[in-house]
Structure formats: structure tokens, C-alpha cells
Homo-oligomer: A and B are copies of this chain.
């Protein structure tokens, strides 16, 4: 055995979840699930391993990502495998695979982990988890309204108020119509403008203008495009629909583009309004032909994704993370006074927990005072000391750690007391 020479570090760019972080993660996932289910979305999942071809089809995903940013390897059977970098191709594959049996409109959600091979930076690890909600088989604009309302409700269900975030909506089809009205009709030019818009808030105004003119090749037309893109006064039927639902922290933003090429209509992003954390937190959009990779039956869809790291940042920035979620403590800790009484302690613990009350034993070699202090630290509610006196007399003491009160009685009566008070 090579003693002591192996690192305890995790692989670069991924996280270990010790219990206190896991408790936060579970709180986020449970809240996501609750909101999605309140809208009637059903949970699905798939393996992180996908055939690489799923990401290679033209138009499926951002090409840069496939070529440079995925974990792709060849398995021992000479199959090319990719660790999924996003969930949309997987859900499109699953929906297309059972399109004859599934009932539309179909509302699905999932909380997958996703992998991107990129330089680790704030909020962009190599592995992260993402809530994905998708609705398939509804072309109607009210499907877009519903999905954005779901995104809105997600934030409210964490205790956020509407002033803490803003939803910005755009529509790629409307943008194409506006470009067409200026005489820009070449689809590759429109795609290039769309991709540039997606980066607009990461570059300066001058850089944007230079890059735009390079795409368009005409100064006057460039100015006209900038006028359109920077107009914030308009609205559209999705935004109007959201207002009818009572959602007002929403506005038109013609710069919203989204990175993926597969979006065809509505696109939206949610921004944190806090000056410390002012950035896009999540987004999504409508794709009318994603399942076309698999079959001639095209199925329309609209979906969005929200990452766990950005969610946690938002909750921390706005002080919305409840403190109680780190309390994963058992209700009762049984403390033997001596190692020889460990089995007696286990017997007492087992009798309590099979009645539905979480119970553990502190069978360590520490002194009783230290064991009680540890139980308090951990957030346990009660202790019962098991010593030879207690075993001989049959009278045990249930100590209530928060109230610092205690009751001495038979185990049977203490159990009844615990069941009544929990």
C-alpha cells in the first residue's frame, strides 16, 4: 500500500458535496421540483453518457461547443461517447423516440448534471446541475407565456420578490422580420448578427459596432441595426400575456439572442437586479424543429434551463437561503457511558427509530460531557444517556437540549412522550 501519497483533491473543476453543501443543493433541487410539479411538469432523466453523434448534427448545438468544449472519448467498443454538455438534445431524442405513444402537449422537467470542458471560472464549473423544463407539441404563444411564468414562479418559490429579478424577452422570428425590413435577408448574416448580440453585454459598445459592421459591410445599415437592437420600448404578445397573468417584471430586450442556433421564436433571459450580481441568470426559448434530427415528424417545443451555481449565488446575494437547511441532525442521540454499553445504546436507539423517530448513538470514546456538547452542536433535539445505573433501574433520562429540561421515566414511557411530541 502506498501510504499517504495520494491527493485528497477532487478532479479539477468539479465539486465535492460535504453534508452542509449537500443540504443546500437538496433544498435548491427540492424547490425546483416543487415549482415544476405545481405547473404539471413530469420528471424524467437519462444517462450522462450519450452517443457523440447527438451533438454533431448540423444545427443541433453551438459548433464551438462540440468541437472544443465537450468531454468526448472513444469507448473500448470503438463507440464515440460524450458526457452530455446540455440536456436539450437528450430530451429531444427521448421525445422523438416515443412520439407515437406520448400525449401532447407534453410537459417534462429534469435536474441533470452537465459537463463542459472549459477553464473553470466563477459560476462556470466543468460539472454543474441544471433544472430543465420543456413543453413539447404546443405551438401556441400561451405555451411561451406559461414557461416564462414558471421561470418567474421558481424565483418566488425561493422567497424572492419581483423587484429582485427582471425577465427580458425577445423573438428571433420578429428579429428576422426587422432585419428583412432593412434589406438584410441572407440567413448566414442574420445568424452572425444573432451570435454577436448574444455576446453584446460582454463587450464594449465600440467593439460591438466594429464587429457588427464587419458582418454587415455597410456603415448606414449597421447604424440602423443598432437602432433596432437597442430599442426597448416595444412589446409582443408573450409579454402582454405575462402581464395578464400578473407578471410585470418583464420587458422587451432586442439584444437577447441565446447562444444555441436551434432557437426559432421566443427567447428570454432572467437578470438579477442586484448591483453586486447584475447578470443573466438563466434563459430559454422556442425551438420548432429540434426533433427533426430524428424523424420527419417535427415536434415544436419551448424550454429553459437554470444552473445550480447561479441559483445559489442569487439566493446568497439576496439573503434568501434559509438557515435551517443545514440542520440534518437526528432527533435523538443515545450516549453510552462506557464502550461496554455500546450494544445497549444501539438497542435503545433501534427501539426508537423503528417507531419513526430518527436516532443515532455516540459510541465514540469521548467523555459524556463532550458527547452531549457534540449533540448540541449538531442540532439534535434530545439525548438519552445509557449507563449501568439506568440499565439496572430501568429509568432513563430524556434531556431536551433546547429547553434544557429533562424527564426521567421508563424507556417505554419516554418513547410515548417522544412520539406524542414529534
Which residues of chain B have C-beta atoms less than 8 A from A156's C-beta? Answer: 354
Interface residue count on the A side (C-beta < 8 Å)? 108
Stoichiometry, as copies per complex, reads 2
Q: Cβ of A17: which chain B residues have Cβ within 8 Å of it?
A: 44-46
CB atoms of B73 and A1 under 8 A apart: no
Quick one: which of B19, B140, B350, B377 contacts A43, CB cutoff 8 A? B19
> CA–CA, A323 to B115, complex, Å?
35
Q: Contacting A46 at CB < 8 Å: which of B16, B117, B377?
A: B16
Q: Which of A50-58, A181-189, A206-214 lies on the face that meets chain B?
A: A50-58
Instruction: For residue A328, give the distance in angstroms from its CB to the closest CB of chain B.
Output: 5
**Cross-chain contact A245 with B346 (CB below 8 angstroms):** yes
Contact of A4 (CB < 8 Å), options: B8, B294, B339: B294
A122 at the interface (CB under 8 A from B): no
Q: Which residues of B sit under 8 angstroms from A23, Cβ to Cβ?
A: 43
Would you call A295 an interface residue if the criterion is a C-beta within 8 Å of the partner chain's C-beta atoms? yes
Q: Is A202 an interface residue (CB 8 A)?
A: no
- Among A24-45, those with CB < 8 Å from B are 25-26, 37-40, 42-45
Whether the pair A9, B97 counts as a contact (CB closer than 8 A) is yes
Q: Is B145 within 8 A of A346, CB to CB?
A: yes
Determine if A146 is an interface residue (Cβ-Cβ < 8 Å).
yes
- Besides the known contacts A11-B50, A18-B98, A40-B358, 6 further A-B residue pairs in the complex with CB atoms under 8 A apart: A4-B296, A39-B358, A39-B359, A47-B113, A48-B48, A244-B343
